[in-house]
Structure 1
């Protein structure tokens, strides 16, 4: 018996003309580190159940059981345990394909203590996606409890590993999901392909439960701009030749353009496929209107509340119930009704037309053929539809060091900086470290503190740079306070590094020692001078009551200084007196000249002065008679 590949929409091709394009098998790498004959990197296909460690790696030892090699039975009665011993590597169980579902193999391996399961294909063919059983076999309780990752490997690789193990060689392997999802920048874009149908069995139940559990995390990520989320809905069209058939009329709207399977797979009872299409359209229109009002996260509230208040089982899967939910959330109901339009008319609906177009995969994504499906950064998610597993996958889509806080919580990842500081540089005294925790692990990156950037390799050293570098841990330089005085070797100009201040010598980083200026005779060199060394400086004095002049490095007597001082005072007094006499003489001279000129001008009006010349007398000319 061949394992079935899941609930693919191809089962509905009897009613619709949808043509599949390409189903993409999502892969990750596995690296064999021993034995030498198998060393290398190989591809494997991620199973669509369990919890793949997106963004992480898992190292273990491969075991191929001697019995129950297809793992279709439990390992309770087998004399082997897959649980790793203290200090040992986790165990990866290699099993053969065939005889039972992939999920049952994984469940038995998990119960046996395995950390991961590898399924070897039984024929040479391209890798496929291992999925959960189809609907008639999907009600097993264990399906939602599988937590170990799973991978399908090629027949040739499986045979090589089996041969090495049979030869007594240890096979060590590294399962690597770090590049399973693109992580180009600080925002993750993801799509959730879902369905409003709540009567399709365990898969419908699991996706409704997922929406309820994931709503809080999704809304935090969306409200703070970390993600861009878009819900999508699969529809099909009815072949033109069958548009008027009873099946198409009950499953389709807008004259066979948009169809969905009957919820109960019974045309004679319950709701029809067209009811599902209309509700899918209403949810898509709700998102469109909410997104236009800058509140796309309200979609999670609507879908959650609708599933609780308007279930099919209670015959409340109606427009009236949906409208009550919409009004309670506060979104414009009229805009949603306009978006839905007349689903009985022979016209296209722009929203559903766009959904059918997006459904066809482009680039590396592939077609969406499994419901529910998550597409993260244009790559289809594989694994259990679980809050923790999906959050890990979304967090793996952020560029390193840009992850939001929710991705660095204890429930999502392990902080590698807590052990040995991640092997990065740190300054314990200043509580500084270059270890930065990311979702994929730690990076050693020199920090920026209070506007001061530290530069270095992040592993062995980080040094403060810039004009404010001395404000943080004194720039990593020597600094000491003694007798109320502080000296520092930090120089604001980073090019000068750490330089001991004047009066000290040393490397400026670890130490600066006081220079004894008195011992080295670099100060107080005059014969009468006495030198006393101080921390970072010196003091000079003179013997015999002499006075020390620091600027001239000499000693003078106090008497000479007093004589000099009085002479200077007398010079100033005499200078002032001389200036006063000269000023008074100039003043008198100028006043006298001014008075003389005034008196001479007045007297000249009444009598000639000696200094004036005789005034000539003029006679009239005499004429001839």
Structure 2
């Protein structure tokens, strides 16, 4: 019986110790790949798949060009190259060195560290057998004697297939120069102007170097994350891994100490000691509290507050100081102005024998779908549905997130000097620019620069972006006069730019030329035959001309005629008297017609009235005739 109990206890210990490893073995883990392009020799010129290492700093959004070197000794890089007097540091102006090394005998990270110390810019690890590509991972810190350098590896690394490794070695043995381009531009999809990313984390701070790295990352990345989230550039979601307890162990003491909700949601013991310290269920409850906190702040439109809560919780409620408690957590929540009752309601009763909707959703989210594998390792970042490979460090992660934006839509934080180089600062990136107006077609992006005609002060420029950009549309004449000719003399200004919706330049009336570089004054007196009337004199002016008359006469522009000043006055008064006389005659005639019409109207009215009382002769004759007819009948 005692043997059975011992075996039973040992089985539980093994189960909880290997919780993380079980998920790794059973889960679907996808290898993130990128492109390795061999540009020479010609016989190997092609694109090849390689697997990104899960350490170092991959240059997300960029690429690295260099030459391949295969060491004469220490080909597996398991020892320091100083012992072999070998250095791979590039000379000024030289190509970066890609150190080709063989797989085997030591950790991948040890190979990378030795290559980095020897001056290599990147490492290519050639597989030692023909098999599918795998992800080169860092060893568990507690099993590794090289944990002190893990956080210092900065060069990128990639695993290549054995066949490619053999071909590269063969070309180098023949004396060929092998040029390669390691490209991370398409390592992460970048479909639009918003990046969606997940951070799989844990509230446990007693897991050694990994926990310390995670806590420092959250603290250092908080500022950038909140900027991205406040401006709507990203959609961030935190997640928490949990496991379930097998049915056979649900009622055991160990399972009860590591799980909540009747064994449905478990976490390993923080210090791997079931008899002291905090328990796994304490971690699950804090995870659940943080998940509920995020749910509440996300619904309130302030998801960035999650970073404040997690940072403050790590500072104020560490396990080492025995402050990892509900009371401490609620103190942090209260300080951020959030409703504790709502969070407790979200958490539910951990002793109930039923599913918790928040944690159940977390377990479902752990399962990979599409291009993302199962999440089994803590901490893990998933960016645009791809698992991040590299160092958990602010600038490295920010580079990866920035590479997920569609080009030219990156926020300003992605273009800061701390994470990328602004190519527009050197020779304007080789793009068009107008130095007078400080307008340029060079636009800095996270992946480099693009030459794109700009929109400046609401005015759109069009052209190829490299040699020319011309203002078009409404308002173009306000920007460098639309690129057209313009000149001012004696307070007179003439311009070849016309606001007609086009982008052409046309010299104004009185000028001739291309409208862009020059417009020259036309002598209208000679070329336009202006002022041609008898006695007219013509004088050319800048942008026009003036006509005058000899002999003190006046020039009438409308009729192109010269007239005498005296004649003009006489003709003027005579013309006025004629008009006055005409008006007088018209008035008299109109009055006479008026009087005539009034008199005729009055006569007709009088006759009508008199007819009613005194019959007219015609009426008497008619009446007599009628009476005579009656008598005869």
Instruction: State whether TM-score is above 0.5.
Output: yes
Match of 2:264 in 1: 257
- CA deviation vs aligned residue, 1:337-363 (integer Å, no higher than 9, x gap): 122222122211111111111101000
C-alpha contact (below 8 Å) 1:194/1:231 kept by paired residues: yes
Determine whether 1:275 maps to 2:282.
Answer: yes
Aligned to 1:296: 303
Match 1:381 to one of 379, 383, 388: 388
Task: Give CA deviations for 1:540-575 in whole Å, capped at 9, x if unaligned.
Answer: 122233322223333333343233223213323432
Q: Report how far residue 364 of structure 1 moved.
A: 0.6
Equivalent residue number for residue 419 of structure 1: 426
CA distance in 2, matches of 1:88, 1:103: 26
Q: Are residue 227 (structure 1) and residue 196 (structure 2) matched?
A: no
TM-aligned CA distance change 1:598 to 1:369, over 3 Å: closer
Deviation at 1:296, TM superposition (A): 1.6
| 1:511 counterpart (493, 505, 518) | 518
Quote the offset at 1:263 in angstroms.
1.3
Of 4, 18, 22 in structure 2, the residue corresponding to residue 12 of structure 1 is 18
Change beyond 3 A, Cα 1:559–1:358: same
1:238 aligns with 2:245: yes
Q: Is the 8 A contact 2:57 2:391 kept in 1?
A: yes
Greater CA drift, 376-385 or 324-333 = 324-333
**Cα shift at 1:597:** 10
Which 10-residue stretch deviates more, 535-544 or 206-215? 535-544
Stretches of structure 2 lacking an aligned partner (at least 5 in a row): 1-14, 625-633
The residue aligned with 2:574 is 567
Q: Distance in 1 between matches of 2:533 and 2:87?
A: 92
Aligned counterparts of 1:162 and 1:427: Cα–Cα separation in 2: 51
Q: Which has the higher helix share?
A: 2
Deviation at 1:577, TM superposition (A): 4.1
Counterpart position of 2:629: none
Could you tell me how far apart the structure 2 residues matched to 1:415 and 1:440 are? 10
Q: Which one of 493, 499, 510 corresponds to residue 492 of structure 1?
A: 499
User: Is 1:111 aligned to residue 117 of structure 2?
Assistant: yes
The CA RMSD measured in Å over matched residues stands at: 3.1
TM-score (norm 2): 0.89
In the other structure, the counterpart of 2:46 is 40
Deviation at 1:282? 1.5
The residue number in structure 2 matching 1:406 is 413
Cα offsets for 1:591-623 (capped at 9, x unmatched): 98899999999999xx999xx999x99xxxxxx
Which stretch shifts more, 210-219 or 432-441? 432-441
State the secondary structure of the residue aligned to 2:64. strand
Q: TM-score, normalised by structure 1?
A: 0.90
Out of 552, 558, 565, the residue aligned to residue 551 of structure 1 is: 558
Task: Report the CA distance between 1:52 and its aligned residue.
Answer: 0.6
Distance 1:603 1:350 in 2: 114
Matching residue within 73, 82, 85 for 2:91: 85
Any idea what SS the aligned residue of 1:123 has?
Answer: coil
- Cα displacement (A) at 1:76: 2.7
Measured in 1, the distance between the counterparts of 2:609 and 2:98 equals 135
Residue 367, structure 1, aligned to residue 382, structure 2: no
Q: Are 2:432 and 2:440, in contact at CA under 8 Å, matched by a contact in 1?
A: yes
| 1:434 counterpart (425, 433, 441) | 441
- Work out the CA distance in 2 between the residues paired with 1:567 and 1:195: 109
Q: Is the 8 A contact 1:15 1:238 kept in 2?
A: no
Kindly state the Cα deviation for residue 454 of structure 1 after the two structures are TM-superposed.
Answer: 2.0
* Residue of structure 1 equivalent to 2:58: 52
- 5 Å-filtered alignment, 1:470-485, equals 470-485=477-492
C-alpha deviation, 1:586, in angstroms: 5.7
CA distance in 2, matches of 1:485, 1:15: 85
Measure the CA separation in 2 of the matches of 1:239 and 1:46: 35
